Amino acid sequence: MAGSSGLGGGAGQGAALRASRAPLLLVALVLGAYCLRVLPGRCPPAARTLAPAPSPSEPPSSVRRPGAPDLPVASGPGRRRFPQALIVGVKKGGTRALLEFLRLHPDVRALGSEPHFFDRCYERGLAWYRSLMPRTLDGQITMEKTPSYFVTREAPRRIHAMSPDMKLIVVVRNPVTRAISDYAQTLSKTPGLPSFRALAFRHGLGPVDTAWSAVRIGLYAQHLDHWLQYFPLSHFLFVSGERLVSDPAGEVGRVQDFLGLKRVVTDKHFYFNATKGFPCLKKAQGSSRPRCLGKSKGRPHPRVPPAVVRRLQEFYRPFNRKFYQMTGQDFGWG
């Protein structure tokens, strides 16, 4: 009996202990899920390279810039080079579409994924960064796109240190529409997210919360002002995300001119997909079949009350006007 009582008491204590631990386990699971969503993603794996070898097109080590590393040169057709042009922004502006359109050009070689070198992976070093790049032949341009560069404080300084002559492409979009699109993407990954209104404003329809990244990214003038401390305006091309939808050939033509390329990608390469609401490629790179961007592109936006949209339009108006003055372009956002 005593033994039975002891066993019963032990079982009761174990159950109580498990019950007391349940809330802690729940908190741990929630924190773990939050960290997976919020913390920076992993850096992409480097390509395998052979041992360093001299290249006739590179200056001898004695005349390299002080502090420049001796970097490996890939064998085979072409070489891995640092990018000569970057698509640095902005998120949900149309950067993926622009990159895919440009990859139709035979003289453009672009990294498909976002390397996040100048914001998340800078400690990996320049040799690692170059190892990610596709091989190019003489006369071809190497590109990559990471839209978070435009809003990363350290990015312009780091890019300038690598290449003061870098050509910088920024795809911009009405900041209100961009913020809603940003929210829609996050909502698709995080069901149960507070409403757009609750995140965009403090205390109901109080002050706009610029601490929220979906709002802060749209302050284009402020971000550009920081970049202009390192690069002249002539190094930038500002692409309209709206015109990239309504006139893709025209906007891509401007980009080809900016890059010093022949206008190879023209209106014959595009058709408008009414279901998705944006242009698709008649012939994608490496394929004879038409291709649209993935399912995550062109997702429907949640309904946002008109009063919320008007408040955000009023908030962004002075920043938009300053951006128009800085770039010499009127994007028509009001």
Annotated binding site for 3'-phosphoadenylyl sulfate: 92-96, 173, 181, 297-301
DSSP 176-212: HHHHHHHHHHHHHHSTTPPPHHHHHBSTTTSSB-TTS
- Please calculate the CA angle 207-209-211 and round it to the nearest 5 degrees: 150
Task: Give yes or no: 92 in active site.
Answer: yes
DSSP character string of 67-132: T--------SSSEE---SEEEEE-TTTTHHHHHHHHTTSTTEEE-SS---TTTT-GGG-HHHHHHH
Q: How far is CA 237 from the centre of its chain?
A: 16
Distance CA 171, CA 252 (A): 11
| Closest to 197 (Cα-Cα) out of 310, 30, 93, 82 | 310
Exactly one of 91, 92, 145, 167 is catalytic; name it: 92
Task: Enter the DSSP assignment of 291.
Answer: B
Pairing of strands 278-281, 270-273: antiparallel
Contact status, residue 287 vs residue 198, Cβ threshold 8 Å: no
Residues making up the annotated binding site are: 92-96, 173, 181, 297-301
The residue assigned the tokens 């070093």 is: 125
Report, as residue numbers or ranges, the catalytic residues: 92
